[in-house]
Structure 1
């Protein structure tokens, strides 16, 4: 069976859901974390070749072309200038390469992971965080596939004020799972990163959500790796100034970042469900009076 036919087989919904969810998710995720760090150039080349049977992996933009482990490939840096950061201070740029999932308003404390599948912002943010600042505002779900660039960046000049870590499950976050598992993002391991824009002092939130085979989120300014074995702390008050486009951390495979903005922010014209975007591209526009 050629790689294209194999991918088509895996896209059948029932089979895809079975293979990526009805499995020992935690055990597979911990195994993948161990396996990805094995330092062997030959094993890494073979693993990347197998990986390419499942995805359209393109390493042409990677700063490094030879890898000693899968971890090095998953968390690869890009060549200088590979991504353009929108310079307009009124633009909130995408923090990552992604496919746009659900997006729209935050209404009555709810948003949608897929059509007919709402979830609560209060549950997503966890008991220590108040999500009311985003009522009437906007959200955008950004899904990173396994083949994409996995680092994420500051969407604007801002100050990071708080991080909450919520341990959880490792369900797949692909569209098939999102249409079947209620409140999926609220079940999975995630971090809630609260920011305040330097221009206008607007609150923002980035919520990186881990998934099967990922479940590791690196946050540079805290010098911490959040994963299934993390036992604490779970709350980090902080006052970290970041510049637009500055690297904040990475996922170790691929997953999702949900971006929340308060009332007054508007979605960029190109942002529609299913659109593929790149880090640095316009995501939202700040209020015009900012």
Structure 2
């Protein structure tokens, strides 16, 4: 029985240029593919990003710099509230499709120090899996023992961390494009899809400015993925929700996307 950590990208489940707007078709497809795999005996932990719910607020209040003013406290509250709303949408979709989602709050599971995880309590995730649930976590603003007071813990970082700690078989990042490209496929027609990603190829990838967000953008996502791969997660890949590529990756079938491999 395999354990997979699946990260729903914020840009895949929301419209980034329209605040608080869910991409219903994409979210339904992702949840459905996860459930198809679970129904065949697989175990899955889902982590989702912030997209147009959390990122605009986090950037508006400069939460990547921590508690820098009285307004920061307002920003923390509003950003966390927005992320809960998006989490509610994800959970509701799983329920509509007959799934058994169980939200595990990141703010109660992690304490950081200068942006890095210092303490964690993930027994709730493990127990939820044992009880037959699909644990659902999300990127959030969490307490930080360092000078900042709070830090953004991205969904990408949570997914990578859980993949290592739970000794997952697979870590799958679901994107709005087919995988990792040498150039931004939304800007450059005919951009080349990278099928196998290693350290050498990583140096050649151009990270577009549009990929910058409150959590560090595409480059940070790739670095988190490499961290899990180096730590022993055998399958680390990037896929689109389209064409049932998520389900194919979960089931161990050929899929269109990008896989991390040794150089």
User: Which structure has more RCO (C-alpha within 8 Å, separation ≥ 6)?
Assistant: 1
**Which interval holds the TM-score relative to the shorter structure?**
under 0.3
Structure 1 length normalisation: TM-score?
0.23
Whose radius of gyration is greater, 1 or 2? 1
Q: Which has the higher helix share?
A: 2
Q: Which has the higher strand share?
A: 1
